Amino acid sequence: MIGDRIVKRKLTSAYLSMFCAEMSVIFQAGITLGDGVKVLIADADRDGKIVLQSLLDELAKGETFSGALEKSGYFTGHIVGVVKAGEKTGRTVEMLKALSEYYDRLDRLAVTVKNAVFFPLILLAMMIGVILILITQVLPIFSDVFGRHGARMSPLASVFMRVGEWFSGVSVIFAIIFGMLFAIALILRIFPAVRMGAGRKLRERWGGHGIFGETSSYHFISVMALSVESGLKAKEAVELASAVSGGTRATDKRNAECLRLLSEGATLADAMGGSGILSAREAQMLNFGARGGETDATMAEITRRKERNLFDRINRIIARVEPTLIILISVIVGVILLSVMAPLMGIMNSIGG
């Protein structure tokens, strides 16, 4: 199956987008591949030099561009398959440009997803931090002040303060937990293999559902559109897309079902619709496009729609979560402050009287 091979190191979507764009320019300029890669090596950083040098070594052995990409060990079966198809059909430049746009979209999607997760987590951490400071540090000060003036905390403030005292009593446990979480995050950051393994486990558990399932579906249809445009046969395109978007029980099941339907003679549209990769409306649209000889254009249009819908869904999640957290922290802090303001106002009135 296409894509069943070991890659030395996972290259970022941003790097792959830039690499494909640069290689398309080299092909258009009529420069020999070896000379073009040497120019790229001269301006590359340390990691980039390693990747490009391995590519140059394979080119020096007489390998084709797709063969050099594959044997260098740094490029996925997706790039190799599309470039190989482009070489067969004489559309290498067009395929490299399409690959550059594809990986640019993936990079923007990754940034959007990270923002959707990162900023709410920051707000949540700030909310927890502010509340903990109020109930563990501020409320005891007010309690001491009230006691000196013969006043008592309000019942609600007393409840908050007891919660704060409980947190203070188990602060060592929480410190250990946060230390362990920090150590895990540091290990994931330092060791890519561990990070990739953890990501694979998470995808297996959650990747086929909700926003993650929709993202996998988008990856599949994006690779399908690019593969069909490059001239790959339907079965090869599905195998390539499955290698890129698979990794979870739900997605692997859909991909396997699509391949089964294709092997039984179903059209590409019927196979993708019958397996649940495309909705009934999208499958019908692809059927109409295939009848008019516009399969690749129709697939590209479906990809654009899925991309827009995915970004809209992520933005809607962000638009709901962030205001909700801000309102929540404002309400909690306000309640805590108001619970001590009433007794404080009583003390001030007694002093003024």
- Tens of pLDDT along the chain (353 residues)? 444 444 456 788 889 999 999 999 998 888 888 888 898 898 888 888 888 999 999 999 988 998 999 888 888 777 888 888 888 888 888 888 888 888 888 888 888 877 777 777 787 888 888 888 888 777 777 777 777 766 666 777 777 778 777 777 776 787 788 788 888 877 876 776 666 666 666 666 655 566 777 777 788 888 888 878 777 788 888 887 777 766 567 777 888 888 889 888 888 889 888 888 888 888 899 889 888 888 888 888 888 888 888 888 888 877 787 788 888 888 887 877 777 776 666 666 665 54
How many other CB atoms are found less than 10 A from the CB of residue 87? 17
Could you give the C-alpha distances from 230 to 91, 287, 322, in angstroms and in order? Answer: 7, 19, 42
Domain boundaries, the chain: 13-100, 101-346
The structural architecture, per CATH, of the domain 13-100 is Up-down Bundle (1.20)
Contacts of 121 (CB under 8 A, 6+ apart): none
- The rounded distance, in Å, linking the Cα atoms of 149 and 143 is 10
Burial 284-303 (b: 16+ CB within 10 A, else e): ebbbebbeeeebbebbbbbb
Identify whether the C-beta of residue 107 lies closer than 8 Å to the C-beta of residue 308: no
Separation CA 328–CA 281 (nearest Å):
40
Three-state secondary-structure class, residue 239 = helix
* Predicted local distance difference test score (pLDDT) of residue 341: 72
Q: What is the pLDDT of residue 6?
A: 44
